[in-house]
């Protein structure tokens, strides 16, 4: 290489070095990012070391530090996006409170997106640091512990399009927050704070670009009555649930009557006293997809719009005072209805027949109304996975088509007037997770269960001789069932229902501007994107002489079987000893016979076992003392015999009430003692099951019959052999006959005179 080539090579290297330095991020922004990292590290956020590990002071180009959390402009190399959500977390919880230092973000003059959500930030939003970020378009401070009122300088962020302040402890009248000075604002979420929100929404009337407004769990306040202005905005999403801690006589927000593009509305859990049902919401908003008006004190009939609402999928108007019948043309008015919740109203009449042909309907809750009719075979669609008709006046026979729906996970028909015999010949669909037909007038044999294994029972009330897997709850109690039926079929199934997108995200975003909005950082809650459906089930148990109600997530850790208060007969299936995860078993108040299965000793998790008020016999299996979690044990009022289990482990805690009503039982804690010299092992038959009783009633009857016959034959033989005893025997018989004759001859005339 000659000298000229060397100079050219050195010049190129210098230009490359200069070019590299020229395309680095600004030095002041790089220093600020390192200060932000130190800010998180100072709070002790162990996770920040890993999440901000690429933020290295030795690397000059901060635009290459972290492509997820730091985004730079390709032309200017200025930082335009900072995604710092959940940095102050160790994976599950926030490490400790972190004081918000907004001045750290002052050097980022071109910043467009700032996300500090979920960092346990405390303090207030000071009137500094934010006002200078003139290019900020998206700001998220949700999921922190920020307090105080909003600073007036937020009104200076003229480019702001999305603002999320939800899940904090902010307060004050939101009308005084200068948010009305944000002309570009499209998305405003202030849910779960302590704001006061004027029901007139007058301060937001001029925000012509506003499309999303979510203010759940704040307080709606009345405003002076005046003729409201017509708002310039056209909302797509409005959510203001649980915003009236006390009854609000102002009624619904008036501005809603001038909205025609609503896709999602949630006004649940508000007390709009005496407000008639707002049928105009259907009439005005043909794009409506979700409507939640649960517990809003609405009154009047359920009035449907005159014209179809083709996009409506979810309607929840439970817990109101809506009366009358469901219109028979509801299927043509809401042709895509998917989730229909009208529980806890005063509806009458019957289920519209058109529901049977409505293939889109998947969730139907009409419980706690006054509906009354026969439930016909084809009144309900096979597409349902949740059906609740509890506590109405439905009558007639139980439709077999409902019981055999293959997609149905939850079925509640309790508290009605279904009558007649339940056939034991049909098979209950294996997909059931919860099955409740209690408190009816049903009788007969229980249905055969198919496709059920033995591991994840959550609450069972009233089912027969089967092993149980996918079933989470069956309630057949307080009927008149009389027998168990068996099934040996086992098909392992998973009844978990995944919550999929089902096209809702695409539909809603398409109705409000396409995927452009999603790509630009707008966020929709799961409540908006998917049906807000929660299967709220409670289980009532008696344990340790106290009455408890369990509900919520704890049920996923519980297994309960309640077959009490029926007319079950026969023996307890030994296979039930394979229910290794069961928590409580109640077979009381039936007519069960036979022995207590020794296989119950395999129920290692059981805490409550109630077999009282039956006709069980034999001895109590000694192996039950191995149940170390057992807190309640009751075998009272049976025909049990022999020695009580050894006072060991949990059995040392049970008193006489657990065993009373069994005259042939002996041993502590009972007062009648057993033979002192006889060891427990000597009295227990050494069989494979350990179920041999002290007195087997079947053997007793057989032995008594044989002895009686032998005694009669012995007397006959003696009379034939000995003439003297034979004469004495016939003389005794003759004396007895004469005595009876004289008694009747003397007393019969007296009796006749008395009767005249």
Report the CATH number at residue 46.
Answer: 3.80.10.10
Over residues 698-745, the pLDDT tens digits come to 667 777 888 888 888 887 787 787 777 777 777 777 778 877 777 777
Q: Is residue 113 scored above 50 in pLDDT?
A: yes
Give the separation between CA 632 and CA 625, rounded to whole angstroms: 13
Average pLDDT of the chain is 78
In a domain, 422, yes or no: no
Neighbours of 605 (CB within 10 A): 17
Q: Helix, strand, coil: what percent of the chain each, to 5?
A: 25, 20, 55
Q: What is the DSSP string of 733-747?
A: HHHHHHHHHHHHHHH
Q: Is residue 379 scored above 80 in pLDDT?
A: yes
Give the separation between CA 606 and CA 620, rounded to whole angstroms: 17
In a domain, 54, yes or no: yes
Q: Is residue 377 scored above 50 in pLDDT?
A: yes
Q: In terms of Cα–Cα distance, which of 412, 380, 417, 383 is closest to 397?
A: 417
Distances (CA, A) of 602 to 544, 576, 580: 22, 9, 6
Q: Is residue 542 scored above 50 in pLDDT?
A: no
For range 323-330, the mean pLDDT: 94
660-668 long-range contacts (CB < 8 A, ≥24 apart) are 660/636, 661/612, 661/636, 661/637, 662/635, 662/636, 662/637, 662/638, 664/639, 664/640, 664/694, 664/695, 665/620, 665/640, 665/641, 666/642, 667/643, 668/644
Residue 496's pLDDT is 36
Q: What is the DSSP string of 470-519?
A: S--EEE--SSEEEE--B---------------TTHHHHHHHHTTTHHHHH
Cβ burial of 519 (10 Å; 0-12, 13-18, 19+) is exposed
Over residues 577-614, the pLDDT tens digits come to 887 778 888 889 899 999 999 999 999 889 899 999 99
Number of DSSP helices (H) and strands (E) in the chain, helices first: 12, 44
Residue 222's pLDDT is 83
Q: Is residue 173 scored above 50 in pLDDT?
A: yes
Among 116-125, 425-434, 514-523, 689-698, the range with the most confident prediction by mean pLDDT is 116-125
Rg (Cα) of the chain, in Å, rounded? 39
Strand partners, 346: 323
Residue 467's pLDDT is 40
- Beta-carbon contacts of residue 521 (< 8 Å; ≥ 6 apart): 113, 138, 162
The SS3 assignment for 224 reads coil
Over residues 192-238, the pLDDT tens digits come to 999 999 988 888 999 999 999 999 999 998 877 655 578 999 999 99
Q: In terms of Cα–Cα distance, which of 168, 173, 165 is closest to 195?
A: 173
pLDDT band at 43 (very low <50, low <70, confident <90, very high): low
Residue 493's pLDDT is 27
Residue 93's pLDDT is 60
In a domain, 271, yes or no: no
Give the separation between CA 496 and CA 622, rounded to whole angstroms: 39
- Among left, alpha and beta (phi > 0; psi -120 to 50; other), residue 42 is alpha
Tell me whether strands 417-421 and 448-449 are parallel, antiparallel or unpaired: unpaired
In a domain, 62, yes or no: yes
Residue 643's pLDDT is 92
- Beta-carbon contacts of residue 116 (< 8 Å; ≥ 6 apart): 84, 85, 100, 140, 141, 144
Give the separation between CA 610 and CA 376, rounded to whole angstroms: 38
Question: Residue 542: in which H helix or E strand, if any?
Answer: strand 538-543
Give the separation between CA 13 and CA 318, rounded to whole angstroms: 74
Instruction: Provide the 8-state DSSP code for 341.
Output: E
- Beta-carbon contacts of residue 627 (< 8 Å; ≥ 6 apart): 600, 601, 603, 604, 606, 609, 649, 650
For range 398-410, the mean pLDDT: 83
pLDDT band at 576 (very low <50, low <70, confident <90, very high): confident
What are φ and ψ of residue 324, in 5° steps? Answer: 90, -170
Chain center to CA of 375: 26
Q: In terms of Cα–Cα distance, which of 165, 64, 156 is closest to 114?
A: 165
Residue reference for tokens 């020229």: 22
Q: Is residue 333 scored above 80 in pLDDT?
A: yes
Bigger pLDDT: 569 or 547? 569
Q: What is the DSSP string of 157-190?
A: -TT--EEE--SSEEEEEGGGSSGGG-TT--EEE-
Is the overall model pTM greater than 0.85, yes or no? no
Q: Which residues of 632-641 are buried (b: 16+ CB within 10 A; e: fewer)?
A: bbbbbbbbbb
What are φ and ψ of residue 180, in 5° steps? Answer: -70, -5
**In terms of DSSP H, where are the helices of 180-318?**
280-284
Among 44-48, 366-370, 728-732, the range with the most confident prediction by mean pLDDT is 366-370
pLDDT band at 543 (very low <50, low <70, confident <90, very high): very low
Tell me whether strands 70-72 and 427-428 are parallel, antiparallel or unpaired: unpaired
Counted residue by residue, the chain has a size of 756
For range 522-533, the mean pLDDT: 50
For range 319-333, the mean pLDDT: 94
Lowest mean pLDDT among 292-296, 440-444, 510-514: 510-514
Q: ω into residue 645 within 30 of 0, thus cis?
A: no
Residue 19's pLDDT is 46
Over residues 21-34, the pLDDT tens digits come to 445 788 899 999 99
Distances (CA, A) of 117 to 37, 114, 157: 16, 9, 19
Residue 632's pLDDT is 92
The sign of the CA dihedral 645, 646, 649, 655 is positive
The SS3 assignment for 87 reads coil
Residue reference for tokens 């096209």: 503
Give the separation between CA 290 and CA 339, rounded to whole angstroms: 9
Q: Are 398 and 421 in contact (CB under 8 A)?
A: no
Q: In terms of Cα–Cα distance, which of 66, 34, 35 is closest to 51?
A: 66
Longest dimension (CA), the chain: 159
Domain range for 35 is 28-122
pLDDT band at 431 (very low <50, low <70, confident <90, very high): low
Q: In terms of Cα–Cα distance, which of 732, 731, 729, 710 is closest to 720?
A: 729
Q: Are 444 and 428 in contact (CB under 8 A)?
A: no
Q: Which residues of 283-297 are buried (b: 16+ CB within 10 A; e: fewer)?
A: ebbbbbbbbbbbbbb
Q: What is the total count of domains within the chain?
A: 1
In a domain, 15, yes or no: no
Residue 265's pLDDT is 94
In a domain, 637, yes or no: no
Q: Is residue 170 scored above 60 in pLDDT?
A: yes
Bigger pLDDT: 397 or 127? 397
First to last CA, the chain: 153
Question: Residue 45: in which H helix or E strand, if any?
Answer: none
In a domain, 393, yes or no: no
In a domain, 116, yes or no: yes
Give the separation between CA 710 and CA 69, rounded to whole angstroms: 98
pLDDT band at 481 (very low <50, low <70, confident <90, very high): low
The sign of the CA dihedral 489, 492, 498, 503 is negative
Neighbours of 311 (CB within 10 A): 18
For range 156-167, the mean pLDDT: 93
- Beta-carbon contacts of residue 639 (< 8 Å; ≥ 6 apart): 615, 616, 617, 662, 664, 697
Question: Residue 661: in which H helix or E strand, if any?
Answer: none
């Amino acid at each position: 290489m000659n000298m000229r080539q060397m100079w050219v090579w050195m010049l190129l290297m210098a230009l490359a070095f200069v070019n590299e330095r020229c395309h680095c991020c600004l030095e002041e922004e790089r220093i600020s990012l390192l200060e932000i990292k130190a800010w998180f590290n100072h709070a002790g956020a162990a996770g920040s070391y890993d999440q901000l590990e690429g933020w290295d002071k030795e690397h000059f180009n901060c635009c290459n530090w972290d492509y997820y959390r730091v985004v730079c402009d390709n032309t200017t190399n200025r930082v335009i996006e900072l995604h710092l959500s959940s940095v102050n977390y160790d994976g599950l919880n926030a490490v400790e409170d972190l004081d918000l230092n907004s001045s750290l973000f002052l050097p980022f003059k071109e910043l467009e997106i700032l996300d500090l959500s979920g960092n346990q930030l405390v303090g207030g939003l000071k009137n500094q640091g934010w006002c200078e970020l003139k290019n900020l378009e998206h700001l998220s401070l949700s999921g922190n512990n920020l307090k105080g009122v909003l600073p007036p300088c937020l009104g200076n962020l003229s480019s702001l399009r999305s603002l999320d302040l939800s899940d904090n402890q902010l307060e004050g009248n939101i009308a005084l927050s200068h948010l009305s000075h944000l002309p570009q604002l499209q998305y405003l979420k202030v849910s779960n704070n302590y704001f006061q929100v004027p029901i007139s929404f007058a301060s937001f009337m001029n925000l012509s670009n506003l499309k999303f407004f979510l203010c759940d769990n704040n307080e709606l306040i009345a405003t002076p009555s005046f003729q409201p202005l017509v708002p310039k905005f056209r909302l797509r999403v409005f959510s203001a649930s649980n915003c009236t801690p006390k009854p609000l006589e102002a009624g619904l927000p008036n501005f809603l009557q001038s909205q025609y593009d609503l896709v999602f509305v949630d006004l649940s859990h508000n007390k709009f006293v005496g407000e008639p049902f707002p049928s105009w919401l259907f009439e005005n908003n043909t794009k409506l997809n979700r409507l939640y008006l649960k517990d809003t004190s609405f009154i009047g009939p359920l009035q449907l719009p005159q014209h179809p609402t083709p996009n409506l999928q979810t309607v929840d108007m439970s817990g109101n005072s809506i009366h009358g019948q469901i219109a028979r043309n509801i299927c043509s008015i809401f042709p895509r209805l998917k989730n229909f919740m009208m529980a806890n109203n005063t509806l009458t009449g019957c289920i519209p027949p058109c529901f049977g042909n409505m293939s889109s309907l998947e969730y139907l809750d009409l419980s706690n109304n006054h509906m009354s009719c026969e439930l016909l075979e084809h009144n309900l669609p096979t597409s349902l996975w949740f059906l609740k008709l509890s506590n109405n006046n439905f009558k007639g026979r139980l439709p077999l088509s409902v019981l055999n729906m293959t997609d149905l996970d939850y079925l509640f028909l309790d508290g009605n007037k279904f009558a007649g015999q339940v056939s034991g010949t049909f098979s209950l669909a294996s997909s059931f997770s919860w099955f409740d037909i209690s408190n009816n007038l049903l009788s007969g044999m229980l249905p055969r269960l198919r496709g059920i294994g033995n591991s994840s029972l959550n609450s069972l009330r009233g089912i027969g001789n089967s092993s149980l897997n996918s079933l989470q709850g069956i309630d057949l109690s307080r009927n008149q069932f009389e027998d168990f039926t068996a099934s040996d079929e086992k098909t392992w199934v998973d009844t978990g229902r995944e919550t999929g997108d089902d096209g809702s995200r695409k539909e809603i975003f398409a109705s409000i501007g396409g995927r452009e909005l999603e790509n630009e950082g707008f966020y929709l809650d799961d409540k908006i994107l998917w049906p807000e459906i929660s299967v709220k089930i409670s289980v009532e148990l008696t344990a340790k002489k106290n009455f408890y109600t369990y509900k919520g997530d704890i049920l996923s850790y519980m297994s309960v079987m309640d077959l009490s208060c029926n007319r079950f007969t026969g023996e307890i299936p030994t296979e039930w000893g394979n229910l290794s995860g069961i928590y409580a078993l109640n077979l009381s108040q039936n007519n069960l016979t036979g022995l207590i299965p020794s296989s119950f000793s395999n129920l290692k998790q059981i805490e409550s076992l109630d077999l009282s008020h039956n006709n069980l016999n034999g001895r109590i299996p000694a192996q039950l003392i191995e149940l170390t979690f057992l807190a309640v044990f009751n075998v009272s009022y049976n025909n049990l015999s022999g020695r009580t289990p050894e006072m060991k482990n949990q059995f040392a805690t049970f008193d006489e009430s657990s065993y009373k009503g069994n005259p042939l039982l002996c041993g502590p804690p009972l007062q009648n003692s057993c033979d002192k010299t006889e060891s427990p092992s000597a009295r227990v038959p050494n069989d494979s099951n350990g179920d041999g009783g002290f007195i087997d009633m079947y053997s007793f009857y057989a032995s008594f019959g044989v002895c009686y016959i032998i005694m009669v034959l012995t007397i006959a033989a003696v009379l034939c052999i000995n003439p003297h005893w034979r004469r004495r025997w016939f003389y005794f018989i003759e004396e007895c006959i004469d005595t009876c004759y004289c008694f009747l001859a003397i007393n019969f005339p007296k009796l006749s005179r008395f009767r005249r």
